[in-house]
Structure 1
């Protein structure tokens, strides 16, 4: 085992976001304060003091996670499922990133084979590799609405395949794995006794597809296969990244027990104050207004981004996102990909607009791509894209092309 390589997405964010005037690389729905959360809630008697339970002793609390929070999550995962998900099958973690890491730490051994849906958040393939696993990437196809080919997945499976990692909705593309494909994936995994980890951190921010659509993707926990794990958090779809509250949930009590046992060596528990706010946010009195606010924000802002890309379609193109908060936009000149790093650095230096270069954050094959986070406050998006428009008109021709 070896330390994982540098985490390029997070390095770029660390190096650039504090100096950005218009952070259009942000992946969270526009973050809110506790006061704003209280205003959204139907519980008008709630106060900061009552939500935080200011009289509660600040000990470790319930080690697996607070009962109210796990009950609210159980209700969410059970609403569209054939059978309820017990609260005991949910483990609270410091963000989804900790939940994912815990899955790898608890379940993988050197020599195991892992298949990872790609492109995706670097953690999902770099950490398994650092633990000694052999990682194969299951590539999405930008020419086919970012759908990966199922026959390619079948060809990747070996007798050592232990874990299949999905990201649904997908970062950075905003694409989904549709229900019919998910059902085929589950059938394949069950046949070969492969555990499925589905990073669902952008769920349930579906802004361009409805539950009535036959392609609408359910949670991996709703498809009848026991050896599945879903991870999520309050960061992306729920606008509360500062809480650092995430979770891992599974239909298998044995898997949950392994994660809980391994977690004793890491974080032990999560802040009671953070969990109290998280529980309030996911309560029936609050969650619908919170999600409604964010879905509408995503719809409004995606129209703004779409018009900007159409206006610059000589130079940029994308597959319109279906869900989540990010779009993967390709910039070209004379039919050749531009140097995305140079584009992003020049754009931020001269306008204060921050994008994330795709080949830096997601692998060298994504030359010319940039990730745009568009579900920030609408005025930030509008102003940032206006500055980017001026840059495109005056200076885009000076951006170097990507090296062949």
Structure 2
């Protein structure tokens, strides 16, 4: 029997997100859109609609439709000198299945995996459950949570099979800059190490410092054994259609993934495929991203104002991308018990956030931190921030 640890962040969400009257700022997707919303965003009145209702609902295209795979491949054109072929894309049921399928296909007993930390628990827990040894590549506050390439020399082993990164980072909302990505490729390439980049929050680079450009996808840097995963859930506000992808220029990796996929999901829903194709089409995508970027910038300004007003009680590394922030709360200078804080906040105010040490700190790091998702509907965020501020004044100041 495979031994796998509880997926803490998902279990916390499952337990509490249906609390009556909850103000859910634990959610990490950009505020969801409907099919009607997508149609309203479309800039070509002659464009075909999002659903072909006469299509027979067979298994459909096993790899994903040609149109969707081409639209996904085009997402990488913004940062790559060489276009990615649609043949380098496999459509999956969300990024969570994309990541799992890659680990299931590529790593196992006898392999060593290096994974950035903190990050989404799946990225280190699944390879460990499959028998691989996992070393954590820790992001340090004093380095601005930018990975230190020098640390890889201490972590790498002769059997290192894969290095896993998450860009932008969940839960920190920080970005791995271009120069670090290039240094990572220079480190991995001569050793033949696969780089898996979970890019599920890309391209939501909404608040980068002036003069800093958005980093490229890992696929843009000329290393064939690089793999990127992503989905429609976070930056594209369509979690409900459960569409994600695996993208790579390494045909061997793509074919291995497809062979393993035959034992799992076979294909995705044709209806989901059609909606994702429409959302990523040229008449719709720019307006969708503009909407989500503006939402992120507006909401982050409100959250930043609260943190600034209560500097004695909370602090953070202000996020620059994605949808999540990691904030530490203190009382009399001492970090709060984040699990107790989250549950008491929910009971007293109906505001739901996630405890950092439990969901992202392996129970020992990030004491007093909570993860907050701030790219929800602005009205929901503002209500939650009002309640959070009352709680801070009543219990922490």
* Further displaced range: 146-155 or 4-13: 146-155
Who is 1:39 aligned against? 40
Who is 2:14 aligned against? 14
Cα distance per residue 1:270-300 (max 9 Å; x no partner): 0000010000000000000000000010000
Cα distance between partner residues in 2 of 1:24 and 1:142: 24
How much does 1:45 deviate? 4.1
Who is 2:394 aligned against? 394
SS at match of 1:176: coil
* Further displaced range: 183-192 or 328-337: 328-337
2:312 to 302, 311, 314: 314
How much does 1:213 deviate? 4.0
Cα distance per residue 1:129-181 (max 9 Å; x no partner): 00000000000012322112211122111110000000000000000110001
Cα distance between partner residues in 2 of 1:194 and 1:22: 43
Who is 1:244 aligned against? 242
1:2 aligns with 2:29: no
Cα distance between partner residues in 2 of 1:123 and 1:134: 14
Whether the 8 Å CA contact 2:92–2:243 is kept in 1: the answer is yes
1:230 to 221, 228, 231: 228
Cα distance between partner residues in 2 of 1:224 and 1:46: 35
Cα distance per residue 1:27-60 (max 9 Å; x no partner): 000001110111011132457xx42100000001
Cα distance between partner residues in 2 of 1:255 and 1:178: 26
RMSD over aligned CA atoms reads 1.3
Whether the 8 Å CA contact 2:312–2:333 is kept in 1: the answer is no
Whether the 8 Å CA contact 1:38–1:46 is kept in 2: the answer is no
TM-score, normalized by length of structure 1?
0.95
Whether the 8 Å CA contact 2:147–2:180 is kept in 1: the answer is no
Q: How many positions carry a matched residue from both structures?
A: 394
Cα distance between partner residues in 1 of 2:143 and 2:306: 23
How much does 1:251 deviate? 1.1
Cα distance between partner residues in 2 of 1:297 and 1:93: 27
How much does 1:68 deviate? 0.7
TM-score, normalized by length of structure 2?
0.97
**Unmatched tracts of structure 2, length 5 or more:** none
SS at match of 1:164: strand
**Unmatched tracts of structure 1, length 5 or more:** 398-404
Cα distance between partner residues in 2 of 1:272 and 1:83: 29
How much does 1:312 deviate? 1.1
SS at match of 1:137: strand
How much does 1:83 deviate? 1.1
SS at match of 1:81: coil
Cα distance between partner residues in 1 of 2:44 and 2:59: 27
> How do 1:1-400 residues align onto structure 2 when only pairs under 5 Å count?
2-19=2-19, 21-45=22-46, 50-209=49-208, 213=211, 216-363=214-361, 364=363, 365-396=365-396
Who is 1:400 aligned against? none
Cα distance per residue 1:110-146 (max 9 Å; x no partner): 0100000110000000000000000000000123221
Cα distance between partner residues in 2 of 1:366 and 1:53: 48
Whether the 8 Å CA contact 1:115–1:164 is kept in 2: the answer is yes
Cα distance between partner residues in 2 of 1:167 and 1:112: 20
Whether the 8 Å CA contact 1:344–1:356 is kept in 2: the answer is yes
SS at match of 2:326: strand
How much does 1:267 deviate? 0.4
